[in-house]
Structure formats: structure tokens, C-alpha cells
Structure 1
Amino acid sequence: MSRIQNPSDGISQEALAGLMAEAVQQALMRHGVMLDAEALASASRIAGHVAAALPFLPPAQRLAIGSFKGEWTDLASDFFRLMANRAASDGSAISDRALERSAPRLETGKPAVQPIAERAAELQSMLIEDWAGEVAGSTYLEEKLRIPRSTLHRWQRRGEVVALRKGGRKHVFPLVQFIDGRPVPGISDVLSAIANPRLAWFWLSRPSPELNGRIPIEMLRDDMVEDVVRAARALS
């Protein structure tokens, strides 16, 4: 059982899990969910531990989870089937480290850690319009912001602007990254730290726990470059 302390308020993961479990149990009882006492307690404990684990994850893993838009109900059902199958196969109870032990392992026997690049691959399959905000292609930028295509492509090659692939070879560019026809300072440093453009923009365009909930791209627009770059490097 983890007793890691949350640096923000000092509560341990174990204590937080207990509070969450009590809240879940009360909610299930209040809504008349038909479970026997043992199943009710188990469901509450599991929900409590899952919810309490998230605040203690490293920033990169929290970011990856936040980008996930999968079917949570199906994942939860798969989790319980895994538990039931394991218990039925060896007759033993599932320990607190069941998920860790059932994770894919490398040939060395060590658990295989899902790299943040895999989460970037999931972003790759999502529609840009669903998460990236207002974007535009080179034609729009040339006509409206007076950015020549040659200049835009040069920035792209040098990693000075976030370019998101859309379709085959076409790229679109988030508009909020431009001020007065130029990328805001700090974009190139962020892209150096977070090489995948989609993942970099996902982080830039959302409130960041590492920056006290502020949105990195807004901070870059306010010339707070050092703080954002430091957080991006820590994240990577």
C-alpha cells in the first residue's frame, strides 16, 4: 500500500483512498445499487484506490491520462474480468500490486513502462478540431497574417512553430501561437523538450499543474518564457 505524501497538502495516498472509498460507498448506497456487503466494500475500495492514485502520478503520466478519450466503462469491465480470472485460476486474492504484475514485461523481466510517445500516437488518431483549438493552413496565414509560405516552412523546419499534420502531407498551425505575424517566444524551446508536435501543443494549450493551473501558451504570450520552458523540460 502506498503511503506517498502529496506535496500540496500532506495527505497520503492511502488516506486519500480511504476517503474516496467512503464517498463511493455512500453514493452506491444512496442510489440503491444492489450489491451484497462484501461486493459493496470491494467496489468502494477499488474506486477509492483508483481515484487516489491519479494525483500522485508523475506529471507526464497525468498528461497522458488526460489526453485519453477511450471507453472507460469497457476498461473498468476488463479490469474486473482480469481480477476474477486471476482469482479463479490460482485461488488467491488479488493483491494491491496486481496491475503492476500483470503489466507487459520486457525480456529482462522488468515491467514495460508505457512511454509518453504511445499517448502521442493516440493524439495522432484524434481529429485536430476536437482538441487543438482554432487552426489554419498556410494559405490562410499568408492572406490574413501576411506570413509568407517560405517563412512559415522555414520556421517549421527549424522547430520554431507548432505544425500539426492533418491528412497526408498537409499541416495546420494553431493560431494562438502567433503574435504580430510571428510565433511567440519559447515555442522552439518547448518543441525541443517535447518533440512530438501534437503532444507539445496538447500540453501548451491546457492548464498545467506544473504551472499552478495556468495555460502555457497564454504564459508565453505574456513573455513568461522561462517558467514555461522549465516546466516543459521537467515534463519531458
Structure 2
Amino acid sequence: MAEAVQRALMQHGALLDAEALVSASTMAGAVAAALPFLPQAQRLAISSVKGGWTELTAEFFRSMAERIVRADLSGVDGPGESPTIGPAKPASRPLAERAFELQSMLIEDWAGEVAGSTYLEEKFRIPRSTLHRWQRRGEVVALRKGGRKHVFPLAQFVDGRPAPGISDVLAAITKPRLAWFWLTRPSIELDGRIPIEMLREDMIEDVVRVARSLS
């Protein structure tokens, strides 16, 4: 996604040096990748903003620059280390610490778009029998919602099938909520990349290796 943004900026003649161009593309790509996983209320609030994005963005960068300067002056980081800005990323915390709070959170607030078997059969053409077979074999992420009902995150499907490597991740991180939480957040162990995006691009080996180490 960042590469697509970079190409677009270059095509429109953006007057940026090479380093700034890469930074702008990376940040724009990260924003676009993060939006689908925001709670619905936050997505609606962002969509309601009709103008003023330039001022909001400028204020954000001013704030971040000030925090970097303060971190440098306070010397909180060791030599050669980058300052820690803002709260720690969720992926940096041990997965076991997330178990209890995930159980008490609404799926819609953290898991992205999910759907039941009826929707998947109608829109993705995945028969219920196939979906349930994948679930029994641990080949698809199924999140319990309510009593016995399960819903399935849509981002895990590629061409009507679970992304390759999903079963290996579920074998390593056996709690579906924890597994999906990890799959959809930037991972420090993967240089900030999002595991589910890597699986969708057939980058399986690194994702599975890290999942096994975390388990």
C-alpha cells in the first residue's frame, strides 16, 4: 500500500526529496491499512470530517516532533536507541496479558469486519459445511459471539479460502481471539508489519515462526 502511495505521489509531481517521499508513503500506507480495524464508531467519526485535514495533520506532526525533542532532551533512551513515542504498541505486550481484556471487549471494537456463515455462503460462496469443517480442523479463525454463535473475520479470506498459514498460527496461538488480535496488529518481531497482510501475500514462514515463538 505504501508503494502504491509513493507511485501516486511521484505521478502527481510531489516536490519531496527521496527520504521525505518514502516517509510520506509509509505513513499514508499505514493510515490506510489501520482504518479497517478501527471500531465502527471511530470510523464513522473520521468519515464525518469533511475538511480541515491539512490543519489536523500539521498539528499531529508538530505534536510528534515536540515529543521526539522532549524524549531526546530527557535522555530516557540509551545511546543509539530511538525514543519511545506514546503508549506501547499492543503487540509489544505478552499475548497472555491480553486474554482477559479481549474476553470482555465487543468483537466489533477490535476485530475488524466479521460475518456469520449465512453471509459467507451468500457473498463469498463458501458452503456452511466447508466453513464448519475448516473450523473443526482449526483452519479458520472463528470468534465466539454470544452463546454458541461464531463469526468469522473477513480479512482472513483470500479467494474464498482462509489465507495460507492461518492453521499454523492457530496451532501455535490456540485461543482464537488472541490469535486474531496478534494477526491484525503491527508486530515488533516482524519489523512493524501486520501478520495477516503478510499471510495474504504468501509470506508464511516468518509469520509462523514468530507465532510459535510467542506461544
Ranges in structure 1 where 5+ consecutive residues have no aligned partner: 1-18, 25-50, 65-115
For residue 62 of structure 1, the aligned residue among 78, 81, 92 is 92
Aligned pairs (5 A) from 1:1-236: 23=74, 62-64=92-94, 116-117=95-96, 119-236=98-215
Identity of paired residues, percent? 77
- TM-score norm. by structure 2 comes to 0.58
Q: Give the distance between the partners of 1:135 and 1:23, measured in 2 at CA.
A: 44
**Could you report, residue by residue, the CA deviation over 1:73-96 in whole angstroms, capped at 9, with x for unpaired residues?**
xxxxxxxxxxxxxxxxxxxxxxxx
The amino acid across from 1:199 in the alignment is L
Deviation at 1:21, TM superposition (A): 11
Contact 2:91–2:188 (CA under 8 A) maintained in structure 1: no
**Could you report, residue by residue, the CA deviation over 1:41-96 in whole angstroms, capped at 9, with x for unpaired residues?**
xxxxxxxxxx89x98xxx998334xxxxxxxxxxxxxxxxxxxxxxxxxxxxxxxx
Contact 1:162–1:197 (CA under 8 A) maintained in structure 2: yes
Q: Give the distance between the partners of 2:111 and 2:149, measured in 1 at CA.
A: 16
- TM-score norm. by structure 1 comes to 0.53
Contact 1:60–1:235 (CA under 8 A) maintained in structure 2: no
In structure 2, relative to structure 1, the CA distance for the partners of 1:209 and 1:117 (3 Å cut) is: closer
Q: Give the distance between the partners of 2:178 and 2:92, measured in 1 at CA.
A: 13
Q: Give the distance between the partners of 1:61 and 1:174, measured in 2 at CA.
A: 19
Deviation at 1:118, TM superposition (A): 5.3
State the number of aligned residues. 138
Structure 1 stretches of at least 4 aligned residues deviating more than 3 Å after TM superposition: 19-24
- 2:105 partner SS: coil
Deviation at 1:137, TM superposition (A): 0.5
Q: Give the distance between the partners of 1:63 and 1:148, measured in 2 at CA.
A: 37
In structure 2, relative to structure 1, the CA distance for the partners of 1:61 and 1:129 (3 Å cut) is: closer
The higher-RCO structure (CA 8 Å, 6+ apart) is: 2
- 1:156 partner SS: helix
In structure 2, relative to structure 1, the CA distance for the partners of 1:157 and 1:205 (3 Å cut) is: same
Q: In terms of Rg, which structure is larger?
A: 1
Aligned to 1:112: none
**Could you report, residue by residue, the CA deviation over 1:192-223 in whole angstroms, capped at 9, with x for unpaired residues?**
11001000000000110000000000000000
**Could you report, residue by residue, the CA deviation over 1:98-137 in whole angstroms, capped at 9, with x for unpaired residues?**
xxxxxxxxxxxxxxxxxx4453122011000110001100
In structure 2, relative to structure 1, the CA distance for the partners of 1:61 and 1:141 (3 Å cut) is: closer
RMSD between aligned residues: 2.8
Contact 1:63–1:203 (CA under 8 A) maintained in structure 2: no
